[in-house]
Amino acid sequence: MKPEDSLLMDKIVEKLKSVYDPEIPVDIYELGLIYDVRINEKKVSMDMTLTSPHCPVAESLPMEVKRSVEEIPEIEEVEVKIVWDPPWDKTKMSESAKLELNL
C-alpha cells in the first residue's frame, strides 16, 4: 500500500467508525461488517456484510456507509457492495466490540 493510501485508509476507517448498526451499540467497523476496502486513485470500493440477510437496515446502511466515506475530500467515488460470503458471525468482531456487548 502506498503511503498516501495508508493515510487515506485511516480517514476511511475513521468514517466507518462513525456509522452504527441501529440495533447494536457498536460501530460497523468494530462489528466486523467491513470485509475489504480497496483504494484506486480517488475511487474506493468496499465489501461489507450485515449481521443478517433479514437486517431491517439492509437498504439504508450501505447508503449511509457510502455517504459517510464520500465526505472525505480526497475521494471522488465510493462503491459499497453487500456480500454474504463468508457469513458474518461474532468472531468477526473486534475485542473492544465484544467487551462493549459483554461477549
DSSP, collapsed to helix, strand or coil, labels residue 39 as: strand
Rounded-to-integer distance, Cα 70 and Cα 82, Å:
17
Sorted by where each begins, the domain ranges of the chain are 3-95
Instruction: Read off the pLDDT of residues 41-94 as tens digits, 9 standing for 90 and up.
Output: 899 999 999 988 888 888 899 999 999 999 999 999 999 999 999 999 999 999
- Which contacts (CB < 8 Å, 24+ apart) does range 96-103 have? 96/30, 97/26, 97/30, 97/31, 97/32, 100/25, 100/26, 100/30, 101/24, 101/25, 101/26
Residue 63: what pLDDT? 95
- Provide the whole-model pTM: 0.90
Residue 43: what pLDDT? 96
Q: Give just the sign of the alpha carbon dihedral 94, 96, 11, 24.
A: positive
The CATH code of domain 3-95 reads 3.30.300.130
Instruction: Read off the pLDDT of residues 1-51 as tens digits, 9 standing for 90 and up.
Output: 676 778 899 999 999 999 998 888 899 999 999 999 999 989 999 999 998
